[in-house]
Amino acid sequence: MAKLEVVISDEIATLCSWAEHNLHLSFIDAIFAQNQLLDLFLQSTPGIARPVENLSLQKDILDPMLAYARKHKLSTKEDTILFETRVMGLVTPAQSTVLATFDAKAATDGIEEAEDYLNSLAVNSNYIRRVDIAKNVKWQVLNARGDLVITINLSKPEKTNKQVLQEFTKTEVNYPRCALCLENLGFAGDQMRAARQTLRVIPISLCGEEWFFQFSPYVYFDHHSIVFSKEHVPMKITPDTFVRQFDFLELFPNYFIGSNADLPIVGGSILSHDHFQCGKKVLPMFSRAARGAYRHQDFNDVAVYVLDWYNSVVVLKSKNRQSIEKLAAIILSEWRNYSDPQSNILAWTDGKPHNTVTPIATLDDNGIYSLYMILRNNRTDEKHPYGIFHPTEDMHNIKMEGIGLI
């Protein structure tokens, strides 16, 4: 027997009620949202909401609404996710409301409560699509040289290094110019780009500049988040990068913050827009011991270690963040020009730089700042056209995209 079609106005009323209970949508905004949804679904009178306590958003509310939209040609099979995001955007509290709530929670209950509020909003509004994230496969590998957490990420497609380079160098103006630009707020998306009506961001000040905090829709780890520059400017690791990282930790001390490197092959998937990745302090590297300790004569208050880890990592630790910032600037500058032909490391080819760092920072409960500087080199040669320090072609089914900090 054919399934009876839902009464769409009842579903709309139910969704608005669900949003009041699960997204902190106010009573008055729910009335507004209901009228917007009635218009979207070509209805003129409101329906009656079902009790929402035991309803699954996806299965019990959205899927029937999406089926109705498809049947009545309001959406197509191809744009189902775009249409769903449009619907959810109408019942997700406005950007300014979310910001006010986040700030109020941070002021009265502390930053962790505010983070949890924003994270649960991201999950409940389907901005973070749990159904897709659940497809990822994740396990831990114990090893004497350091435990690893391995993830097979099935929710975000990998880019080739060629694609990343093309996006980095292309000059045509699109809108929004990239997936990280602030102008994605409320963006409807298309077949190539994600809809962002459910994206909500928090403005912060780093190094005296305007930056924005948001959760990543592609969750690799707990509270995986992104901090991006207000300006669409390319990734660039400079001494200011370290200042921005420590400024961030003053605001979000329970997170780590790292930047991908600023060169193709050793950078992440987006080089065209300066940004950081953050989240709970989950990186396996954080628990590794040092295999060498040093002091710089001019920076007695900074402990310097080389980490016993798969990458070459220099760690700077101190209660004095300014000392770390200055010493890190010296190390960055030295490394940019460092060559060691025996180890296949050449700093330059025909004026093109190869050396950079992936910097990751944390702040612990005792007020000790740490900066992990992973030394990177992106040179290619005839034998290694994809990068001397990159997976060879036979391993590209496992990892092809530039190796960032994750």
Contact footprint for Zn ion (CB under 5 A): 177-178, 180-181, 232, 273
CB of 168 to Zn ion, least distance (A): 11
- Looking at residue 237, its amino acid is I
CB of 269 to Zn ion, least distance (A): 13
Hey, which residues does 192 pair with through a beta bridge? none
Between 178 and 285, name the residue whose CB sits nearer to Zn ion.
178
Between 200 and 273, name the residue whose CB sits nearer to Zn ion.
273
Between 17 and 214, name the residue whose CB sits nearer to Zn ion.
214
Asked if 262 contacts 236 with a C-beta cutoff of 8 angstroms, the reply is yes
What contacts 309, CB < 8 A, 6 or more positions away?
Answer: 145, 146, 285, 288
CB of 178 to Zn ion, least distance (A): 3
Burial 376-388 (b: 16+ CB within 10 A, else e): bbbbbeeeeebbb
Between 277 and 323, name the residue whose CB sits nearer to Zn ion.
277
CA–CA dist 176, 140 (Å, integer): 38
CB of 85 to Zn ion, least distance (A): 20
CA–CA dist 121, 211 (Å, integer): 21
Angle between helices 95-109 and 111-124 in degrees, nearest 10: 150
The region that residue 243 occupies, defined by phi over 0 for left and psi between -120 and 50 for alpha, beta otherwise, is alpha
CA–CA dist 111, 42 (Å, integer): 42
Asked if 370 contacts 364 with a C-beta cutoff of 8 angstroms, the reply is yes
CB of 270 to Zn ion, least distance (A): 8
Between 228 and 369, name the residue whose CB sits nearer to Zn ion.
228
CB of 184 to Zn ion, least distance (A): 8
Between 223 and 273, name the residue whose CB sits nearer to Zn ion.
273
CB of 174 to Zn ion, least distance (A): 9
Instruction: Record the tokens describing residue 186, joined without a space.
Output: 């409320």
Between 126 and 216, name the residue whose CB sits nearer to Zn ion.
216
